[in-house]
Structure 1
Amino acid sequence: MRQLLIQVPSGCGKTVLQKAQACQGTNLAQWQTMGDDPQDMVLVHVSNQRVESLLGALQDLPKLNITLLPQGVMALHPPADQAAEQVTQVEERSPIEIFLAGLQSVGSWKGFLSYAALAGVVVWIGLFTNTNYLLVAAMLIAPFAGPAMNTAIASARGDRHLIGRSVLRYFTALLVTIAVAALLSLVFQQQIATPLMLDNSQISAVAVLLPVAAGAAGAINLVQSERSSLVSGTATGMLVAASLAPPAGIIGMSIAIGRWDMVVNGVFLLLLQLSGINLSAAIFFRAFGLSTKGARYQRGKRGVFPVALGVSAIAIGALLTWQLTNPPSLQRSSRAQRANAEVQTVIQQFPQVELVESTVRFTRSNIPGQNTLLSEVYVQRQPDANASDAAIQTELTQAIQSRLLDQGFDVTPLVSINVLEAPTSSN
């Protein structure tokens, strides 16, 4: 439930009360200000879902001033024994409140760009020193979630002006983060990619699911009342930034060291993120009532929403086509998982050994003309095995390489087999 303080010329307060009662407002109060130009002040408590209806009903009153308190309130009223039911009637935020909050968040550039620069510093330190928790810290302070969600709000509202401003802020923040990371790599004379850069630059075939889930989660969080949301805004903002801050840092650092393959991967992720978030979040916002026209909002255009969704869907389709038709460069993470499953299948067919551990990963070696897939396998020799360690290593290596090539992984598999023996028991 929301609290509104409504100021109208003297004599119009009764009209406000009548319209508030028609919108099922509760705990209503009216008083008159003193002075040369007395005004009627009306205090209204109304359901979240009826805020925009009330604003629309009051729109024609002269010199109308409204103060909307964005925090939820508990309006208790008779009968007293229904207090529990009254406070548990928690509803989603009104569409006008969601929209105005989005507009309010695009005001300050100085603080916005400062956070983007600081995120670049923190993500660079994390990637340069191979410190995972610093990547989490960079996700917390990266300001990418705001413009990404505002783009979705603007798409649902059909506001081309807000779409332009939000996309501009999105890419400006990314460029600042990229520039800071690149500058730090140049200043500290970085020459090669760090292991954490290599790990985070690899893309999975299911990477599109993260921005789609992030957009839906962000929309739900913004729509839900603060008293009914089970997840904090910080958590959903971090989810949005989860696949933005590290790629932005990797792009900057990769530019500095000339690793253009990693730059391409980072750009792919950034474009996929914005498209996926806008597609899912705009659909959720529209489903929760954001439309092109509303109280105190008339600049929405009907055709903008389907066009924005169409552009996002086409962008996702183009990016996925690029990803699926250029294996394995944009599918390294998921292909490594599949390759590891094939390796373990091969080992199960050899009764001479038992699998201890196997790891499969793509390397970023600069060997021209090949996609290097490195497989490190540890097996334990069985007591009844007659073959030598060298023979087992050779046979397993050939079997694994043949299996990976036959399955069409389009890689150069390099296999390292380590044959281990359990200690003999002493009597």
Structure 2
Amino acid sequence: MRQLILKIPKGNKEEVFKAVEEFEGKNTIFLPNDEQDVFIIFLPNRKVNNFLKRIDEFEEPEINLIPKGVITLYPPASESPDQVADVQPKSPLEIYLGGIQSVGSVKGLIGYSIAAGIIVWIGLYTTTVYLLVAAMLVAPFAGPAMNAALATAAGKMPLLKSSLMRYGLAIGIGIIASLLMTLIFPLNTLTPLMVEISHVSKVAIFLPLISGFAGAINIIQSERDSLVSGAAVGILVAASLAPPVGLIGAGIYLMDWEVVWSSVFRVVLQLLGIHFAATLVFYFFGRVTPGGVRFLKGNKILTYVTSVIVLLGIGGMMFWQFSQPPFLRKASMNTELTERLDKELNKLNDIEVINKDVDFTNTKINDRPTVNYKVTVLPKDSTVSEVALKKRIIAHLKNNLTYRDEVLHEVYEISIVTE
């Protein structure tokens, strides 16, 4: 329930009470005075927006909306548990106004972007994973992401422009901060964590879609109905953006364009996916539409055109990902090649596999992506020499370990151990 304080010209008491009853208001308090009538009204969250539209029929109403949950108890007392448990999503008006209020200052955005860029660079440089999590907490990406989706759902160009500007500012500052840190503490090569993060999975699209969905749901739900904190959802949104943003700066310094482009791909894909999923949630579940929010006259054409552009952008990114050599699918190919490696090694009966690993490197040999197969085996026949056994294993893998039509340069690292 939400509490509203309403001031309207005298003589409209009965009409207001009828409107309150129509929109399921409870425990209404009427405070008459000489110039205006004052009402303290408690309405279900979902009814606030339409109630205010009805109140617009009266001359110059003054409204105070308190965006906090209120528990209303009314007869019969036996139904009190059900009354308290009735937690509804926020009204479209509150969702939209809340988004505008969360814009905050540009100075704060710049400060947090610099901090996030430095922290993520330190995490990548020292291969410290928990620092990446800290950067996700600080990175100010969730606010612009959700506001841009709100603007698209509501058809409001000014909010969309300001959100995209803040998006670009936050990402650009993060990249510059990472680049400056690399200039101050020069890198000669990528760290193992940088290499790992630079690898993109073929299922990368699912993370931004889930992030956008979760972020929008968190905003729409009433505070007592949310099972996940806003900070946790913010981390989910930033998780897909902060590491690649920091990696772009280091990649530019090293002039490793494969790393730069894979990181740019991830950033753009995350932005488009988050925007599309959040827009759908705001539009269909939050009912934030061009004509569905009081005080707002949005542009339906903007909603449809922007959504189509974002959807086409996602399609273009996916086409780029799957039409290229493994450059944008290395993370998932690692898993698939490991499964193939395990299958082929199990066909060799004279060895016991101790360990196996597949790793893509960022080094190209003969202009082909390089994949390194690392295998540790225990021979079952001790009379066979290590050299002969290695040659046999490598020959078997070369003849049978194929991966679709991908052109890869394969490197084998076979270790023989004894009991």
- Residue matched to 1:65: 62
Structure 2 vs 1, CA of residues 114 and 12 (structure 1 numbering), >3 Å: closer, same or farther? farther
Which of 166, 171, 176 is 1:169 aligned to? 166
Deviation sequence 1:178-197 (CA, Å, 0-9, x none): 11111111112223211111
Contact 1:352 1:385 in 2 (8 A): no
Structure 2 vs 1, CA of residues 388 and 151 (structure 1 numbering), >3 Å: closer, same or farther? same
C-alpha deviation, 1:283, in angstroms? 1.3
Please say if 1:253 is aligned against 2:262. no
- Secondary structure at the counterpart of residue 94 of structure 2: helix
Question: Quick one: which amino acid aligns to residue 340 of structure 2?
Answer: E
C-alpha deviation, 1:280, in angstroms? 1.4
C-alpha deviation, 1:242, in angstroms? 0.7
The unaligned stretches of length 5 or more in structure 1 are: 423-427
Contact 1:148 1:166 in 2 (8 A): yes
- Residue matched to 1:425: none
- Secondary structure at the counterpart of residue 410 of structure 2: strand
- Residue matched to 1:362: 360
Contact 1:55 1:295 in 2 (8 A): no
Contact 1:13 1:41 in 2 (8 A): no
Contact 1:50 1:94 in 2 (8 A): yes
Which of 278, 290, 303 is 1:292 aligned to? 290
Deviates more, 1:205-214 or 1:253-262: 253-262
Please say if 1:335 is aligned against 2:333. yes
Please say if 1:90 is aligned against 2:87. yes
- Residue matched to 1:17: 17
Please say if 1:352 is aligned against 2:350. yes
Structure 2 vs 1, CA of residues 50 and 41 (structure 1 numbering), >3 Å: closer, same or farther? same
Whole-Å separation in 2 of the counterparts to 1:257 and 1:406: 30
Which of 379, 382, 396 is 2:393 aligned to? 396
Deviates more, 1:395-404 or 1:254-263: 395-404
**Matched residues, number:** 418
- Residue matched to 2:305: 307
Whole-Å separation in 2 of the counterparts to 1:44 and 1:105: 26
Whole-Å separation in 1 of the counterparts to 2:408 and 2:414: 18
- Residue matched to 2:29: 29
Contact 1:59 1:295 in 2 (8 A): no
Query: Percent identity among equivalent residues?
Result: 38
TM-score of the aligned structures, taking structure 2 as reference length: 0.95
Question: Quick one: which amino acid aligns to residue 134 of structure 2?
Answer: A
Contact 1:127 1:197 in 2 (8 A): yes
C-alpha deviation, 1:299, in angstroms? 2.4
Whole-Å separation in 1 of the counterparts to 2:389 and 2:110: 58
C-alpha deviation, 1:201, in angstroms? 0.7
Structure 2 vs 1, CA of residues 240 and 355 (structure 1 numbering), >3 Å: closer, same or farther? same
TM-score of the aligned structures, taking structure 1 as reference length: 0.94
Whole-Å separation in 2 of the counterparts to 1:166 and 1:13: 42
C-alpha deviation, 1:40, in angstroms? 2.8
Contact 1:401 1:415 in 2 (8 A): no
Whole-Å separation in 1 of the counterparts to 2:366 and 2:184: 29
Which of 122, 128, 134 is 2:125 aligned to? 128
Q: Residues 136-285 of structure 1: matches in 2 within 5 Å?
A: 136-285=133-282
Please say if 1:8 is aligned against 2:5. no
Once superposed, which parts of structure 1, at least 4 consecutive aligned residues long, lie more than 4 Å away?
10-14
Contact 2:216 2:282 in 1 (8 A): yes
Deviation sequence 1:351-385 (CA, Å, 0-9, x none): 11111111111112364512111111111222x45
C-alpha deviation, 1:296, in angstroms? 2.8
C-alpha deviation, 1:342, in angstroms? 1.3
Structure 2 vs 1, CA of residues 147 and 400 (structure 1 numbering), >3 Å: closer, same or farther? same
Deviation sequence 1:129-176 (CA, Å, 0-9, x none): 110000011111111111111111111112222222111111110001
Contact 1:401 1:414 in 2 (8 A): no
Whole-Å separation in 2 of the counterparts to 1:124 and 1:269: 17
Deviation sequence 1:59-88 (CA, Å, 0-9, x none): 132232211111111011111111001001
The unaligned stretches of length 5 or more in structure 2 are: none
Whole-Å separation in 1 of the counterparts to 2:245 and 2:305: 28
Question: Quick one: which amino acid aligns to residue 371 of structure 1?
Answer: P
Deviates more, 1:305-314 or 1:237-246: 305-314
Q: CA RMSD in A?
A: 1.7
- Secondary structure at the counterpart of residue 28 of structure 2: strand
Contact 2:116 2:135 in 1 (8 A): yes
- Residue matched to 1:375: 373
C-alpha deviation, 1:255, in angstroms? 1.1
Whole-Å separation in 1 of the counterparts to 2:393 and 2:64: 74
Whole-Å separation in 1 of the counterparts to 2:198 and 2:164: 24
